[in-house]
Amino acid sequence: MNTENHSQMAGFIWSVADLLRGDLKQSQYGRVILPFTLLRRLECVLEPTKEQVLAAAKEHADKPLGVRERLLRRAADQPFFNTSPLTLGTLSDTQTADDLMSYVQSFSPDAREVFEHFNFEDFVQQLSANNLLYQVVQRFAAMDLSPGRISNFGMGSIFEELIRKFAESSNETAGEHFTPRDVVHLTTSLVLTDQDDKLQPHSVVTVYDPAAGTGGFLSESDAYIQQVSDNVTVSLHGQELNPESYAICKADMLIKGQQVENIKLGNTLSDDELAGERFDFMLANPPFGVEWKKVQKQVTDEHKRWGYNGRFGPGLPRVSDGSLLFLLHLVSKVRDPREGGSRIGIILNGSPLFTGGAGSGESEIRRFLLERDLVEAIVALPTDMFYNTGIATYVWILSNDKPPERRGRVQLINATERYSKMRKSLGSKRQYIDDTNIDNIVRLYGAFEESEESKLFPVAEFGYRRITVERPLRLNFQASEERIRRILDEKPIQKLDEDTQARLLAACEAMDGQMLYRDRQAFTRDLKRALEEREVKLGAPPMKAVLNALSERDPEAKPCTDAKGNPEPDTSLRDHENVPLTESVYDYFEREVRPHVPDAWIDEAKRDAQDGEVGIVGYEIPFNRHFYKFTPPRPLEEIDADLKVCTDRIKRMIEELSA
């Protein structure tokens, strides 16, 4: 059956929705059609060995459960079985719901679990209550979904088409579980292009998605590999948090004849169900901007306990967005380059490119990825590509076994104009990337050349050192009436007894209130003399408080110094400069800072924790800056002419009204 026939068959199956219209919501059609399609396909697959399985079930009824299941799988010649004598075609028209659930409960555990996560029984009861169940059952019983007519690959294509229709019919929430097929196709093509060395005949390749959703990336990668190579076995692995999406993904794997035990249910960040596994190719579209507060304890504990031996060693992003945690998780599963390495394709929003300054969790994660030369390319997608958001999105391509020409460099591709308008919007999805544009984007990536849409950068281009620039504290001092009143506002002074406070104020009032000091040492000397005359002894905190109350910042004053004669920094004038990694911080300082503030200096105590050099290392990828095109404003004469035309038109309209 060819692709066109697959689409026709999917359309025929989806036509069951005509029966459901009016009794179920449109967004619920897929929750009936998908499990029934799966059920009919499994029934057709098991039909040739049904009698042998029933006989084996009777023969081995007393065997231990594990042994019995193994024997029944052998009898079925499949990784699943069903021990019920019923079929969809033989269900009773008077007790259809009971018969149907009895039939489903007779499947082996992996298959039965799928129906449980679909909440199949709830929909069966709903259909029964509306007198629709028997009609639906009969419609599916009449469909020929046997392997002799439709291969596993073909059935997978049909199921994917049904998933797409389900996504479109429930586009309000589709973005949480479905990645649009055009985005999936592009990302998969970027990751798998030019991988002939891994896709040799009779080889086994593994593909993994940690946020599998309904299995779009897994299905697309399988289809791509089957199209470009011969006799390659593809082993698909994934984990999904949402039970319904997990059920759809697992059903798709069952239909394709994949090992369904490789699809796991659970939160990937807090509980990696495939820990220790390594994969050839990894693809993911984790949720955009979703906080990870629910799993914060588990993730933070792993970060602190295992460091770089765990998944999150480089750092943790802010709790409001866990995208980079998924990226670190994928990197932790790469194969050793000596074993061929791994390639990763992940879709992220703009935040991971630049959020977080030097030393932050996000910056340290980018540093880890870039300094280890894992980032191959980043592709900016058009906006309005997803069902539930129109924000800017990017495809990151990573590899720990880059070809020689790509080593030490990162390719940025601006594909924001590579789209076609959709005839009908699906939620927020108003645009899609057609096959021609997908091919062009993949060619841009493969060419690895500079152009208007493709830029190449050395890794160090994205790094900088954040230096702290200090300026001296300059204060003037005066024992004026106004400043003396401020002394009692200082907390260390409020802790003194009333007699000491009174003598302190008297000592200050005895000083020359008109004299303005621009030298802290000179003023401190005269203040101490006045305090001695009143027999006032102050510790360091109260003395500091008095000086604070009697001082004001003065750019003309002499710099304040510490006991060693070094200038004290003025925290209010503290500034930071980001110095490119490719440049000396001192050369930069002398050129960019010193001419403007001659008394400034670099705080050399602020050093990077990893390399010990002055300045904290940070990384960001200012994607838009590299593709920005300046558009000069229109000439003033042209603007004035437009305004004159507008005002003349308004004047005529007013004249017509008054006529």
3 state DSSP class of 456: strand
Per residue in 423-468, pLDDT (tens digit) is: 877 777 888 899 999 999 999 999 999 999 999 999 999 999 999 9
Q: In what order do the strands lie in the sheet with 233-240?
A: 263-265, 233-240, 204-209, 281-284, 343-349, 393-399, 375-380, 409-414, 454-458
3 state DSSP class of 204: strand
Residues 81 and 202 in one domain: no
| pLDDT reading at 53 higher than 60 | yes
Confidence of residue 170 (pLDDT cuts 50, 70, 90): low
Query: How does strand 375-380 pair with strand 409-414?
Result: parallel
Give the count of domains, the chain: 3
Per residue in 577-628, pLDDT (tens digit) is: 999 999 999 999 999 999 999 999 999 999 999 999 999 999 999 998 888 8
Query: Do 90 and 134 form a contact (C-beta atoms < 8 A)?
Result: no
Mean pLDDT for the chain? 91
- The reported pLDDT for the residue numbered 172 is 46
User: Which of 542, 531, 548 shows the shortest CA–CA distance to 494?
Assistant: 542
Name 264's bridge partners. 239
| pLDDT reading at 216 higher than 80 | yes
How far apart CA 375 and CA 373 sit, in angstroms, is: 6
Beta strands in 427-543 (DSSP E): 429-432, 454-458, 463-470, 475-477
Cβ atoms within 10 Å, residue 22: 7
Cβ atoms within 10 Å, residue 263: 28
Show Cβ contacts of residue 94 under 8 Å, excluding neighbours closer than 6 positions.
none
Percent of the chain with pLDDT over 70: 97
- Domain of 345, CATH number, reads 3.40.50.150
Residues 99 and 149 in one domain: yes
Mean pLDDT of 4-8: 76
Query: Do 426 and 407 form a contact (C-beta atoms < 8 A)?
Result: no
Residues 306 and 343 in one domain: yes
Q: How far is CA 259 from the centre of its chain?
A: 28
- End residue of a domain, out of 402, 433, 463: 463
- The reported pLDDT for the residue numbered 387 is 73
- The reported pLDDT for the residue numbered 178 is 67
Residues 94 and 220 in one domain: no
- End residue of a domain, out of 407, 429, 463: 463
User: Which of 245, 225, 247 shows the shortest CA–CA distance to 235?
Assistant: 225
How far apart CA 107 and CA 390 sit, in angstroms, is: 42
| pLDDT reading at 174 higher than 50 | no
Q: Considering the domain boundaries, does residue 54 fall inside one?
A: yes
Residues 321 and 435 in one domain: yes
Beta strands in 333-399 (DSSP E): 343-349, 375-380, 393-399
Residues 92 and 175 in one domain: no
Show Cβ contacts of residue 52 under 8 Å, excluding neighbours closer than 6 positions.
75, 76
Mean pLDDT of 105-131: 91
Confidence of residue 171 (pLDDT cuts 50, 70, 90): low
Q: Considering the domain boundaries, does residue 612 fall inside one?
A: no
Q: Considering the domain boundaries, does residue 516 fall inside one?
A: yes
Mean pLDDT of 204-226: 91
> Which value, in Å, is the radius of gyration of the alpha carbons in the chain?
35
Residue 42 structural domain: 1-169
| pLDDT reading at 3 higher than 70 | no
Residues 152 and 205 in one domain: no
Confidence of residue 267 (pLDDT cuts 50, 70, 90): very high
The DSSP secondary structure of 170-199, one letter per residue, reads: TTTTGGGT---HHHHHHHHHHHHTT-TTTS
Query: Do 358 and 465 form a contact (C-beta atoms < 8 A)?
Result: yes
Q: Considering the domain boundaries, does residue 626 fall inside one?
A: no
Residue 390 vs residue 37, higher pLDDT: 37
Mean pLDDT of 156-174: 70
- The reported pLDDT for the residue numbered 95 is 92
Q: How far is CA 11 from CA 23, 160, 177, 346, 572, in A?
A: 20, 12, 22, 31, 69
| pLDDT reading at 390 higher than 60 | yes
Residues 43 and 109 in one domain: yes
Residues 499 and 413 in one domain: no
Q: Considering the domain boundaries, does residue 408 fall inside one?
A: yes
Query: Do 449 and 415 form a contact (C-beta atoms < 8 A)?
Result: no
DSSP-assigned letter for residue 21 = B
Per residue in 276-332, pLDDT (tens digit) is: 999 999 999 998 878 899 999 999 999 998 888 899 999 999 999 999 999 999 999
How far apart CA 86 and CA 218 sit, in angstroms, is: 33
- End residue of a domain, out of 169, 185, 217: 169
- The reported pLDDT for the residue numbered 4 is 58
Q: Considering the domain boundaries, does residue 656 fall inside one?
A: no
Confidence of residue 151 (pLDDT cuts 50, 70, 90): confident
Q: Considering the domain boundaries, does residue 563 fall inside one?
A: no
| pLDDT reading at 175 higher than 50 | no
Mean pLDDT of 501-529: 95
Residues 362 and 240 in one domain: yes
Residues 269 and 279 in one domain: yes
Q: Considering the domain boundaries, does residue 658 fall inside one?
A: no
Confidence of residue 55 (pLDDT cuts 50, 70, 90): very high
Residues 156 and 191 in one domain: no
